[in-house]
Structure 1
Amino acid sequence: MKKKKISKAERNFFALLSFFSPRINTELLFFKKFGRLPDLKNPVTLNEKLLKLKLEEYRDSELVRKCADKYRVREYVRERGLESCLNAIEAVYDRAEDIDWDALPHSFAMKWNFGCSYNIICRSKDQLDKKAAKRQMEKWGREPFWAYYSELQYRGVDKKIIVEEYIGSPEGLPPEDYKFYCFHGHAHCVMVCAGREEGWPRFYFFDRKFQLMRINHDGKEAPDDFSLPKPQRVEEAFEIADRLSWGFPFVRVDLYLTERGVRFGEMTFTPSAALDNKRLPETDLLFGSMV
């Protein structure tokens, strides 16, 4: 089914609706994406099960809220004995107007802790438009991210701006990110993006032996002999994802594989707001059976 985009006006409408009824918001968004209502009473797909979890368990789970918070999750990572995977913190601010640009290093990664894609990657502070960056951070900081899709694990997060060390290559290339799909403390597979630099990103799933799994459109359409080089430290990354996902029925653990080792990215409980219409129907059922 072709993806139906949500306009800015519709997004604001759904955000307001979340304050009234997260369940109605969820049902209408699902209907808009899939042309039917979700079965939240007896869910079978991954999307439906994650929607049920976000509405019934995540809204009151302090642990899930802590792990969805990109600042407080660092404490959880340390509790799991994985402090060595954390990027160094350069600064933390409550508001965009508090940012002390002069005190920041030459390169860094800046992000809000309560949503998705609210980040600025600065490879050279000398070339950064600081006024524009401040305006962008202020704009993001005003957004009720949790309300757009009723992702209740973000509701009530104490908003913080985090500035972390830059972990890209000296040539300015971003670090390779790997998204591990974890079920009950076991990283079943990892999703890898290829071709992003060339402008044609494709997403592929690999098992723990780094064998291609043809469980999404890009994987299914790949040539018979398709493969990607097995990354260094990927076995270690799978084990780290296992440890971080322990105790959760599902979570996607995002990690970076860098020259200096595996680095923690974030933990995502509702990928694509649990409205992923790019996943093959049979894969949605397969993953759903594992939750």
Structure 2
Amino acid sequence: MKKKRISKTTKAFYIALSYVSPRLNTHLLFLKKFGRLPNLKNPQTLNEKLLKLKLEDFGKNELVRQCADKFRVRQYVKDCGLGHCLNELLAVYDSAEQIDWDSLPESFAMKWNFGCGYNLICPSKDALEVPAAKKMLEKWGREPFWAYFSELQYRGVHKKIIVEEYIGSEGGTPPKDYKFYCFNGNAYCVMVCVGREEGWPRFYFFDREFRLMRINRDSVNAPKDFSIPKPLGLSEAFQIADRLSQGFPFVRVDLYLTQRGVRFGEMTFTPAAALDNKRLPKTDLLFGSLIKSSVK
């Protein structure tokens, strides 16, 4: 079945609505995705609780805003005593025009700091078409990412392009990332993507002992004896996620497990813009029950 694409007019409508009323925009997006309005007065699910936090806390919570910023979060990681988990920072630019391509190494990872998906991974500079890369970065830099889904933690971020060391394989395969779902300073479980390279991604949740948790559709549909090898460094990664998530009702901490140890990826406060309909309803309730928030 062909995936339905959002028209430019519809996209522009929701962007404009975010500037007028993030709350109304949130209600309409939720209604479109789930066929009902969210309960933000007495939220129960993870989606609903994150939407409430997004609207009432994240936009003014300076620590959340710092950690959502892919450049400023580096200082937070250092403050947590985990600077050794950071990829080497090679350069920082305010615009694509400033990039000194000749000074960059043969391989690197480049990304904007104010959203997600704005990543340029370069395993070999010889194969990089610089004019096309620059044009793409400029396009991304003009986008009001926060306004697509009223993710207020990204609003007003001082936009920067950061360049970090490349940690993938020489053949261009990115390292496997592990997404830790953390509630009030405890990494409850980790989500792993399998089959992305082959074009059929499946997502599985595992507990701290790396036992499969059948709490989403892919896990429920997996064979009875389904398992994948427990990766080296997973226990350390859980501890790192615990430390980074201290003080937050919820945050997803993304880490890479490499041959050189655990490497920090990013911190995400509203996965899937808190409009995730791929979780099972009972899982959304379970995750929601784990959030202890002061926002009423």
- TM-score in terms of structure 1 length: 0.98
Farther off after superposition, 71-80 or 190-199: 190-199
- TM-superposed CA distance for 1:186, in Å, is 0.2
- C-alpha distance after superposition, 1:13-40 (max 9, x if no partner): 1111000000000000000000000001
What SS class does the counterpart of residue 24 from structure 2 fall into?
A: helix
Distance between the aligned counterparts of 2:43 and 2:271, measured in 1? 17
Q: Distance in 1 between matches of 2:246 and 2:7?
A: 37
Q: Which residue of 2 aligns with 1:276?
A: 276
Structure 1 runs (4+) deviating above 4 angstroms are none
Does the aligned pair in 1 maintain the 2:54–2:151 contact within 8 Å?
yes
Distance 2:78 2:4 in 1: 40
CA distance in 2, matches of 1:71, 1:197: 28
Q: Could you tell me which amino acid in structure 1 is paired with residue 23 of structure 2?
A: R
**Corresponding residue for residue 213 of structure 1:** 213
Q: Within 5 A, what are the aligned runs for 1:67-106?
A: 67-106=67-106
- Does the 8 A contact of 1:77 with 1:244 survive in 2? yes
Worse overlay, 215-224 or 6-15: 6-15
Q: Which residue of 2 aligns with 1:231?
A: 231
After superposition, residues 1-291 of structure 1 pair within 5 angstroms as 6-291=6-291
Contact kept in structure 1, 2:207 and 2:213, CA below 8 Å: yes
Q: Which segment is superposed worse, 110-119 or 193-202? A: 193-202
Deviation at residue 6 of structure 1 after TM alignment: 3.3
Q: CA deviation at 1:172?
A: 2.4
The amino acid of 1:128's aligned partner reads: L
Instruction: Give me the whole-angstrom Cα distance separating, in 1, the residues matched to 2:156 and 2:179.
Output: 26
What SS class does the counterpart of residue 192 from structure 1 fall into?
strand
Residue type matched to 2:242 in 1? D
Q: Which runs of 5+ in 1 are unaligned?
A: none
Q: Distance in 1 between matches of 2:236 and 2:89?
A: 23
- The alpha-carbon deviation at position 44 of structure 1 amounts to 0.2
Structure 2 counterpart SS, 1:279? coil
Letter in 2 for 1:166: Y
CA distance in 2, matches of 1:235, 1:155: 35
Let me know the Cα RMSD of the aligned residues: 1.0
Paired letter, 1:75: Q
Residue identity over aligned pairs, in percent, reads 74
Work out the CA distance in 2 between the residues paired with 1:64 and 1:4.
Answer: 33
Encode CA deviations 1:233-284: one digit per residue, 9 max, x unaligned: 0000000000000000000000000000000000000000000010100000
Contact 1:4–1:32 under 8 Å retained in 2: no
Shift in Å, 1:5? 5.2
Residue 100 of structure 1 deviates from its aligned partner by 0.6
Q: CA separation in 2, counterparts of 1:28 and 1:52?
A: 14
Tell me the distance in 1 between the aligned counterparts of 2:5 and 2:284: 21
